[in-house]
Amino acid sequence: MKTKLLAACAVAVLACAAPAAAQPTAAEAKAFVTDAEAQLDKAAAFANRAAWVRANFITEDTQWLEAKANAEQNELVTRLATAAARFNGVATDPVTARKLKLLKLYLVSPAPNRPGAADQLAGLVTKLDSTYSSGKFLYKGKSITLNDAEAVMAESRDPAELKAVWEGWHGVAAVMKPDYARFAALSNEGAVGLGFKDTGALWRSNYDMDPDAFAAETDRLWTQVAPFYKNLHCYVRAELNAKYGDAVQPKTGPIRADLLGNMWAQSWGNIYDVVQPKTASSSYSLDKLLQDKGYDPVKMVKTGEGFYSSLGYAPLPQTFWERSLIVRPKDREVVCHASAWDIDDKDDIRIKMCTKVDAEDFRTVHHELGHNYYQRAYQNQPTLFRNGANDGFHEAIGDFAALSASTPTYLNQIGLLPTVPGTEEDIPFLLKMALDKIAFLPFGLMVDRWRWEVFSGEVGPDQYNDAWWKLRLKYQGLVPPGPRPADAFDPGAKYHVPGNTPYTRYFLAHIYQFQFHRAACAQAGWKGPLHRCSVYGQKAVGEKFNKMMELGQSQPWPQTLAVFSGETRTDASAVTQYFKPLDAWLTQQNKGRQCGW
């Protein structure tokens, strides 16, 4: 061994003679981060615009441009995150230490640090997203889009028609399976290169706690709300059985997924007419109120802006109205999935949605604008802190606004509803809310449970679909309307899977929003039940809320949560408090029924 070592030194004398590299200093770490942030800003300026153009004009050319921009950005971030590892163990100041950590977590799916890998990964991501967004299938001899299919799912009460449309859209996803498998393998390779076990572990590391501890935390939160979900499931199943009969929906066991009014059965509000209480009714329809008052898509967004203005926030910039996509164009393919954009980390904020004048999009507008106001609130933070306290916060900000926007109190405040109904309408109101908010919780949890299993290697491509439905049965108590084809890739029928957007954020948001709402109503001095509280016009609440938003991701999220709510732990008790009257009512309705599945 000694002879070989001497021979090696003879070839490379300088390498053997050179002293060991000096330990990097705290000052060097800080300088590295400052330079990294400047490079990230420059890359994002181009990548954001390329993504916006592709989402608004889906063509071969725009897909190429976005893939190129994403590949360059991914390659840059991977290089920076890898270089950051040399500062491991260096005693830096807390701000620099946090930035170094966040740099490794900057990308949802980092590319492997080898030539060509970033291009390959970016190409797969863009292709998957565009395949979904331009997907169509034949129905009754006509090629229809997801928008068309969603309308059928919401309005039809014909089980055969629902099954056909459900299967038609889910069939669009089958071609994505090979690309998704390749994407998952590349993403995992990149995550491992940055020191994570796999991509799922990288995602779970973004919550200021150990990845396994975070998984356990989501289990704890689910335990808090699962009994209520099962109560709702039991009631809805019985009403569907009464509507369709045993042959379509049995009295016991799981619910047929296509009967719930939504393509993914993630919200059930569209079947309120089927499950509404027999002894109480709602005196108004928000859909009808909007139509009767002459709302159009732009007025919907203006109303959302008005909510935030009432909290004391500055109006949206003129560029928002000039550059946002608010109505689906008829002359081109676009990504209709609603989203909020921060193009330049300053004032160029936008939304992109194919807005419909209905109750669902009324709430969606308030939600998407929440992203924009959050982005504007933290714009003065350094680059690596310009984000939500965690991704659940980012989703919850707008959902918190939408909780107020859903109340008859708010509809009365803005002139949509002449009078606020009495307490006799509380159960119908809460049932409508639960059909969206509570029905969503298990779906919000299981989408990433599936991806965590895929990324960990527990589930291979041959088991993709079986694993998906195993989780949907476990958490949601749902089954597909019929046997699935051998090549089915039903996870790909949900945008966030081909769109590569982590989903646990939405589960968390459905809990944070109620925590925010409870805290805000207490600060406003509200004395009534939580479900009737609107914080519209409460500028003191808005000021305190903005203090929380301004912090961005500059500190661990429990500290940021405490700034507004005084709490340092995610707590679903606010959810059960909000829905307590309904839970008691459901328990009464379910007497004598065999609940569970």
The CA distance from 1 to 5, in Å, is: 6
Strands (E), 115-232: 137-139, 142-144
Instruction: Map residue 252 onto helix, strand or coil.
Output: coil
* 473 Cβ neighbours under 8 A, 6+ residues apart: 254, 479, 597
The CA distance from 553 to 379, in Å, is: 11
- Please indicate whether residue 394 is annotated as part of the active site: no
Under the banding of pLDDT at 50, 70 and 90, the label for residue 1 is very low
Q: Which amino acid is at 18?
A: A
Give the up-direction half-sphere exposure of residue 32: CA atoms within 13 A in the CB hemisphere.
24
Q: Return the structure tokens found at 66.
A: 């976005």
pLDDT for the residue 281 = 85
Q: Return the structure tokens found at 87.
A: 């500062």
pLDDT for the residue 332 = 87
Evaluate if residue 9 carries a pLDDT over 50: no
Evaluate if residue 108 carries a pLDDT over 60: yes
Evaluate if residue 413 carries a pLDDT over 70: yes
Give the up-direction half-sphere exposure of residue 97: CA atoms within 13 A in the CB hemisphere.
10
Q: Are 390 and 376 in contact (CB under 8 A)?
A: no
Evaluate if residue 213 carries a pLDDT over 60: yes
Closest CA to 368 of 290, 304, 288, 449: 304
Q: Are 46 and 69 in contact (CB under 8 A)?
A: yes
Please list, residue by residue across 56-86, b when 16 or more beta carbons sit within 10 angstroms of its beta carbon and e when fewer do: bebeeebbebbbbbbbbbbbbbbebbbebee
Three-state SS annotation for 566-596: CCCCCCCHHHHHHCHHHHHHHHHHCCCCCCC
- Please indicate whether residue 337 is annotated as part of the active site: no
The mean of the pLDDT values for the chain is 93
β-sheet bridge partners, residue 97: none
Evaluate if residue 5 carries a pLDDT over 70: no
Q: What single string gives the DSSP state of each residue in 438-452?
A: HHHHHHHHHHHHHHH
pLDDT for the residue 23 = 84
Evaluate if residue 368 carries a pLDDT over 80: yes
The CA distance from 109 to 566, in Å, is: 34
Mean pLDDT, to the nearest integer, of 327-339?
A: 88
Under the banding of pLDDT at 50, 70 and 90, the label for residue 2 is very low
Q: Return the structure tokens found at 143.
A: 């090629």
Backbone angles phi, psi at 137, to 5 degrees: -145, 160
Question: Picking from 16-30, 333-347, 384-398, 461-475, which range would have the lowest pLDDT averaged per residue?
Answer: 16-30
> Looking at residue 488, what DSSP letter applies?
-
At 496-511, the pLDDT tens digits run 999 999 999 999 999 9
pLDDT for the residue 530 = 95
Evaluate if residue 149 carries a pLDDT over 70: yes
Please list, residue by residue across 270-305, b when 16 or more beta carbons sit within 10 angstroms of its beta carbon and e when fewer do: bbbebbbbeeeebeeebeebbeeeebebeebbebbb
Active-site entry in 367, 496, 510, 517: 496
Closest CA to 502 of 187, 64, 77: 187
Instruction: Map residue 115 onto helix, strand or coil.
Output: coil
Evaluate if residue 310 carries a pLDDT over 90: yes
Active-site entry in 150, 305, 368, 453: 368
pTM of the model: 0.89
The Cβ of residue 99 has, within 10 Å, a number of other Cβ atoms equal to 25
Evaluate if residue 516 carries a pLDDT over 60: yes
Q: Are 269 and 360 in contact (CB under 8 A)?
A: yes
The CA distance from 114 to 105, in Å, is: 19
The CA distance from 409 to 532, in Å, is: 6
C-alpha 331: how far from chain center: 29
Closest CA to 171 of 454, 501, 487: 487
pLDDT for the residue 303 = 97
Query: How far, in Å, are 187, 399, 525, 559 from residue 528 at the CA level?
Result: 49, 21, 9, 29
How would you class 384 by CB atoms within 10 Å of its CB: exposed for 0-12, middle for 13-18, buried for 19 or more? Answer: buried
Instruction: Map residue 478 onto helix, strand or coil.
Output: strand
Q: Which amino acid is at 233?
A: H
Closest CA to 174 of 459, 483, 492: 492
